[in-house]
Structure 1
């Protein structure tokens, strides 16, 4: 089943006046009821929309030794290349490999009293065999940081707040780009690799995968954890969104980003905005699917308190807390983000952050990405 998600043109909001008011009113309803939409008019140039996926394909076509040069086990910041099948959701290997890219910063010089989540800041890993990857993905992230900031103003107004209500929380935002390849090996339809990371779950979604697609699990059913997610599907679909208990396909639009909110936004709106369960079904054997997922999140220092909603909205807010005791949503985004990364990549955690694991607070089995 396919659903045509609502489509928003960001230019309508940026133009101001009545068009912006109508944009905000419609956005309020869609994020409250669906939690997903398509965004056009975002200003990312068409040539970049074509170039970035093509550069990504060139990376994934590199020989193993060139991709392994930036293996994420070399990065205390969990950056770089995650090998195929080395990440799990709901107890099964995700049929994908990927590059994680964050904000480019020097390695941190941390003291014993600094918060542990500052370890997440630092440099990216870039492959010497593909020098064009860095400038292309850097420009991509720069464009989407601007889009995220504008859309966040609209989201704030949709909650009856000032446009800059969340400005301090995202000055600057914590950003992450995942450059992803999904594929289903013909000799491994079930993705039973046992060498990957711990399974990820979110609010009881593990039991929602019994509809015949488990053997092509690109990413299992989950919710995102942060503020805003922007996904560019390129030319092969596979993203599915849960609507009324059924997963439906999100059609590919070459001019659009698929946008959804994460659990932190659900938390601060007391559940008025909806973080929706979604998943990715990998393509049939012999077909690769390249996707670029960009996450626009609060800065690590931000501790978020729930928004005081107008009475009409508050009456429809169901509460934003996680109902899963193994997946708490932590108010400080640094704590929340570190929790996620340690769980998703225990091989990196054991190499670079064994002291955190030994302390017992940062359990790799107590929360989810």
Structure 2
């Protein structure tokens, strides 16, 4: 087992050289002011007469930022707190236990690793440890999850069910905003959810390190649960803007699959995670994605002769494999999937 950064960060007097990014990739000044223009959307208004207005806000946010936050989303505050506490407990378990979870094997369905799966070949390591496993369909995966803390499987299982419901609500609102029939996404297009729990210990020199490098997500949408420590930054108009950790909110961002299905109307935004000198930070990203063999293509209802498809169709598992080969180069990920021009 590579030494988890969670277990050894406190032994470092300074940041080890293999965690220091080259000058052009460093975050530099991480104290970027929060950007109040990233929309915060009250989903309870969608139950009233404001459904059309909420849909408009979501589509506008997805077009302008690729990001928005949702409040009054139907998931209880207690459930959010309890689940976050369980996630934090996993990283506080004894090293002997975490060693049993540790793996750099991409095919292992539940694993903990440090930095990335490519630890042995990457030039610079990320200042994070990660727990990753599938959580939908629940009955297929739950028995493979960590056995400790003893509440993990039940707590995260119940929470995953609520996140799945929230994801369906958001996708139906987005689908309606794109002019698609209701329930367009209630099938294999949302047939998988992958959970990625990141833990970022305090870092003495956060201007030299990164928790996650700049990237866009490969999936449909990401539903992010944050603790009360900020660190998420979004790249917009050539600048990094910080996303505030709003209590009891979920951060939602557009992934590549939604950009493709919307035929480019919605954009997957580049983002990264920075570290913090004083506080550890834990986040849980639920990646709502198509099933492996699901065919993805621009929705026929929003393409015609005047608006031809700009992407070709493919199976999601093919895209996913390609994505991780080109992960660091967000400019070229989509190029292989562009439709030939007439």
* 1:57-114 Cα deviation digits (max 9, x unpaired): 211111211111112346734422113565579953221111112136799xxxxxxx
Distance change >3 Å, CA 240–CA 331, structure 1 → 2:
same
| Structure 2: gaps spanning 5 or more residues | 1-32, 335-342
Which position in structure 2 is the counterpart of 1:144? 163
Of 31, 42, 50 in structure 2, the residue corresponding to residue 9 of structure 1 is: 42
The offset of 1:168, in angstroms, is: 2.7
Deviates more, 1:225-234 or 1:80-89: 80-89
Q: Aligned runs of 1:1-369 on 2, under 5 Å? A: 1-4=33-36, 5-13=38-46, 15=47, 18-73=49-104, 76-84=107-115, 91-103=123-135, 125-170=144-189, 173-186=191-204, 213=207, 215-284=208-277, 286-308=278-300, 331-340=314-323
* 1:196-220 Cα deviation digits (max 9, x unpaired): xxxxxxxxxxxxxxxxx4x220001
For 2:97 and 2:265, the matched residues in 1 are separated by 46
Deviates more, 1:218-227 or 1:90-99: 90-99
For 1:309 and 1:92, the matched residues in 2 are separated by 44
Q: Is the 8 A contact 1:272 1:320 kept in 2?
A: no
The offset of 1:12, in angstroms, is: 2.1
For 1:28 and 1:85, the matched residues in 2 are separated by 32
Q: Alignment partner of 1:260: what SS? A: strand
Q: Alignment partner of 2:214: what SS? A: strand
Q: Is the 8 A contact 1:67 1:127 kept in 2?
A: no
| Structure 1: gaps spanning 5 or more residues | 108-120, 191-212, 322-328, 345-365
Q: Is the 8 A contact 1:79 1:102 kept in 2?
A: yes
Q: Alignment partner of 1:161: what SS? A: coil
For 2:112 and 2:147, the matched residues in 1 are separated by 13
For 2:253 and 2:173, the matched residues in 1 are separated by 14
* 1:153-207 Cα deviation digits (max 9, x unpaired): 111011111121222333x621011111012554xx58xxxxxxxxxxxxxxxxx
For 1:294 and 1:267, the matched residues in 2 are separated by 20
For 2:117 and 2:314, the matched residues in 1 are separated by 29
Deviates more, 1:295-304 or 1:69-78: 69-78
For 1:311 and 1:74, the matched residues in 2 are separated by 40
Q: How many residue pairs end up in the alignment?
A: 295
Q: Alignment partner of 2:264: what SS? A: coil
What TM-score do the two structures reach when normalised by structure 2?
Answer: 0.76
What TM-score do the two structures reach when normalised by structure 1?
Answer: 0.71
